[in-house]
């Protein structure tokens, strides 16, 4: 469980690095730095006289086993993919950088007061809630689960945990075929994050070749390679989703001497030097032409004011931190009704329920006004295929095995005679000619052409040449395994020289070469490079 938790954090925190990017720097005041130094780092300092003389902690190597970062170590000997490669430099090497700061960041322990402060920043002024987890899904006896607070405001949901927060506005629709270009999106994202007072650290806006946006923290003017925010915005400039992982406790370990970019360049070209660095290589994309895709149309049940709906699901139950209020989430709707009945439903957070009622969209919310409910012994979704017809103005699904269903709450724009797949949740006998089908989604049936694999299936060509196209000093993110579930998670931001380029076969490749002078780095067990 702990290993999965670690991998999830790394997935969220570390963004795959691309080359050929643009950045737009912006700075703010530095965040306070007052955390204690991780003993796993400071203990190394006793191993080197030079480090002790400058009162600098000896740092872990980029390739040690208990630190995780982007890319992977280059294997030694014949397994080195670059053993026969000629390295060419097609850019100028940076100079003039003799020292750089190393920082250690920690999430710190989340308190209810801190969660309340974050919720207020984002405009959530109502109660903080904690989800009520069924006993069968609760942590084993004697173990504590992660702290997670939830706040609600209309259709906006905020989750705050020890390791960050997620924000979702379910009232904001996103058409992923009509996203804003970087130049329009960047100032809107920046303005909103500033309005929420979340950009309270030096940063730059980073543009990927795909036109995607990242926000990189600046440490002593040098960018990290960790995206602080993952943001989804629609073409109207409204934020649908973002996640943020604030590193609340910051400690400066010191200003360390650097090896020059020229020295790092020489290190990259030797087998022994490469054994101390990390790399990432992207396989060559297939040259086969991609077929044209037809986007299948989809439909959801009507959800206008007053619409009658039948739901079949397990309710998500939340209790306020002071124990005075219950909040029940039914899909994307909040349950409203008699307090005693809501309290009874809250006891069924491990059961499948059938609930019926109407939608209320007052004041920007989306609520489900309860009319009745029942507990179901089991739940079986219906995966149906058929054709849509219309009878007396009602949409009817005729399945491939000639069964007929009236589609409940069906939109009027589903074309007649269209072939579809329908995800059904339940059927009811209302006395009509056919049973009424409650459903989640209707998908247009589309026959897709055969698609070649995105990556070449051929054996990759031997790498006999690498051309470096850009070189910059960046902060590499290293995760420190705390060793037990009660120790705070720690991240080191260590300066490295980042070399981006291409192989002779057009593969994109990135190398991260240590920038810290070697006498301040823990000596790793190096792989055999003798052949």
Which helix (H) or strand (E) segment holds residue 167: the answer is strand 164-169
Average pLDDT, the chain: 84
Residue 106 near residue 246, CB atoms below 8 Å: no
Q: What share of the chain is helix, strand, coil (3-state, %, to 5)?
A: 15, 40, 45
CB burial string 483-520: b at 16+ within 10 A, e below: eeeeebbbbbbbbbbbbbbbbeeebbbbbbbbbbbeeb
Q: For residues 376 and 352, is the Cβ–Cβ distance under 8 A?
A: yes
Token pair in block for residue 161: 């945990």
* 399-410: pLDDT as tens digits: 999 999 999 999
Tokens of 3: 């290993």
More confident residue, 223 or 378: 223
pLDDT at 241 over 60: yes
pLDDT tens for each residue of 463-522: 999 999 999 999 998 876 555 544 456 788 999 999 999 999 889 999 999 999 989 998
pLDDT tens per residue, range 308-328: 999 999 999 999 999 999 999
- The number of angstroms, rounded, from the C-alpha of 492 to the middle of its chain's C-alpha atoms is 20
Question: For residue 424, what are the β-bridge partners?
Answer: 382, 439
In eight-state DSSP terms, residue 178 is: S
pLDDT of residue 501: 96
110, pLDDT greater than 90 = no
Secondary structure (DSSP) of 371-405: EEEEE-S----EEEEEEEEEETTEEEEEETTS-EE
DSSP 7-45: HHHHHHH-PPP-SS-EEEEE--PPPP--PPPPHHHHGGG
Q: What is the pLDDT of residues 346-388, one digit of tens each?
A: 999 999 999 999 999 988 899 999 999 999 998 888 999 999 9
Integer Rg of the chain from CA: 28
State the pLDDT confidence band at 284, using cuts at 50, 70 and 90.
low
Give the domain ranges of the chain. 31-100+258-287+461-531
Percent of the chain, pLDDT > 70? 81
Q: What is the structure's pLDDT at 54? A: 62
263 touches 269 (CB < 8 A): no
Which of the pair, 451 or 8, is modelled with greater confidence? 451
DSSP class per residue in 72-95: EEPP-GGG-TTTTPEEEE-SPPP-
Q: How far apart are alpha carbons 110 and 162 in whole angstroms?
A: 5
Distances, alpha carbon 158 to alpha carbons 14, 109, 234, in Å: 22, 18, 19
Of 68-82, 187-201, 301-315, the poorest mean pLDDT is in: 68-82
- How large a percentage of the chain has pLDDT more than 90? 62
Does 91 have pLDDT greater than 50? yes
Q: 3-class secondary structure for 190-248? A: HHHHHHCCCCCCCEEEEECCCCCEEEEEEECCEEEEEECEEEEECCCCCEEEEEECCCC
The larger pLDDT score, comparing residue 41 to residue 109, is at: 109
Which pLDDT score is estimated for 250?
A: 85
pTM metric for this prediction: 0.80
**Is residue 20 scored above 50 in pLDDT?**
no
- When mean pLDDT is compared across 93-97, 104-108, 460-464, the lowest value belongs to 460-464
Of 5 and 157, the one with more pLDDT: 157
The residue that leads in pLDDT, 63 or 7, is: 63
Using alpha carbons, list the distances in angstroms from residue 502 to 19, 194, 499: 10, 37, 10
Spatial distance between the Cα atoms of 494 and 514, rounded to a whole number of angstroms: 9
In order of 328, 332, 345, 379, 409, the CA distances from 314 in angstroms are 10, 13, 10, 10, 21
Q: What pLDDT band is residue 208 in, cutting at 50, 70 and 90?
A: confident
């Amino acid at each position: 469980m702990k290993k999965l938790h670690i991998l999830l954090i790394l997935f969220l925190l570390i963004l795959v690095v691309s080359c050929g990017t643009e950045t737009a720097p912006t700075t703010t005041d530095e965040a306070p730095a007052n955390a204690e130094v991780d003993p796993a780092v400071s203990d190394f300092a006793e191993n080197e006289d030079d480090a002790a003389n400058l009162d600098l902690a000896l740092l872990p190597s980029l390739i040690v086993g208990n630190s995780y970062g982007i890319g992977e170590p280059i294997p030694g000997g014949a397994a080195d993919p670059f053993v026969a490669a000629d390295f060419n430099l097609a850019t100028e090497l940076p100079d003039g950088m003799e020292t750089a700061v190393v920082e250690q960041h920690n999430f710190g322990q989340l308190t209810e007061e801190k969660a309340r402060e974050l919720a207020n920043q984002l405009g959530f002024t109502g109660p903080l809630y904690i989800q009520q987890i069924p006993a069968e899904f609760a942590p084993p006896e004697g173990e504590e689960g992660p702290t997670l607070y939830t706040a609600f405001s209309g259709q906006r949901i905020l989750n705050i945990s020890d390791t960050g927060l997620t924000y979702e506005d379910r009232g904001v629709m996103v058409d992923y075929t009509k996203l804003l270009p970087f130049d329009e999106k960047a100032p809107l994202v920046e303005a909103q994050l500033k309005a929420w007072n979340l950009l309270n650290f030096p940063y730059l806006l980073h543009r990927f070749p795909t036109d995607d946006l990242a926000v990189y923290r600046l440490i002593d003017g040098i960018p990290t390679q960790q995206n602080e925010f993952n943001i989804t915005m629609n073409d109207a400039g409204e934020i649908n989703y973002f996640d943020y992982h604030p590193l609340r406790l910051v400690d400066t370990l010191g200003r360390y001497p650097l090896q020059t970019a020229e020295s790092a360049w020489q290190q990259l070209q030797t087998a022994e030097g490469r054994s101390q660095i990390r790399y990432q290589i992207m396989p060559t994309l297939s040259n086969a032409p991609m077929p044209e895709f037809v986007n299948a149309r989809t439909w959801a049940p009507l959800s206008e004011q007053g619409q009658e709906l039948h739901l079949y699901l397990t309710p998500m139950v939340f209790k306020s931190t002071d124990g005075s209020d219950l909040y029940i989430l039914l899909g994307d709707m909040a349950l409203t009704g008699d307090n005693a009945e809501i309290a009874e439903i809250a006891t069924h957070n491990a059961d499948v329920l059938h609930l019926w009622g109407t939608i209320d969209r007052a004041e920007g919310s989306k609520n489900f006004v309860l009319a009745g409910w029942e507990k179901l012994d089991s739940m079986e979704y219906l995966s149906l295929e058929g054709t849509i017809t219309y009878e007396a103005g009602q949409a009817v699904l005729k399945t491939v095995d000639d069964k007929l269903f009236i589609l409940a709450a069906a939109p009027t724009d589903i074309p007649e005679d269209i072939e579809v797949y329908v995800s059904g949740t339940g059927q009811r006998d209302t006395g009509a000619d056919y049973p009424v089908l409650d459903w989640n989604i209707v998908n247009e049936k589309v026959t897709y052409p055969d698609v070649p694999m995105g990556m070449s299936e051929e054996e990759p060509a031997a790498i006999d040449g690498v051309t470096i196209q850009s070189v910059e000093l960046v902060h590499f993110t290293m995760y420190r395994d705390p060793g037990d579930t009660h120790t705070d998670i720690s991240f080191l931001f260590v300066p490295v020289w980042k070399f981006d380029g291409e192989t002779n076969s057009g593969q994109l490749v990135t190398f991260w070469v240590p920038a810290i002078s070697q006498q301040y780095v823990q000596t790793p067990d190096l792989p055999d490079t003798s052949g």
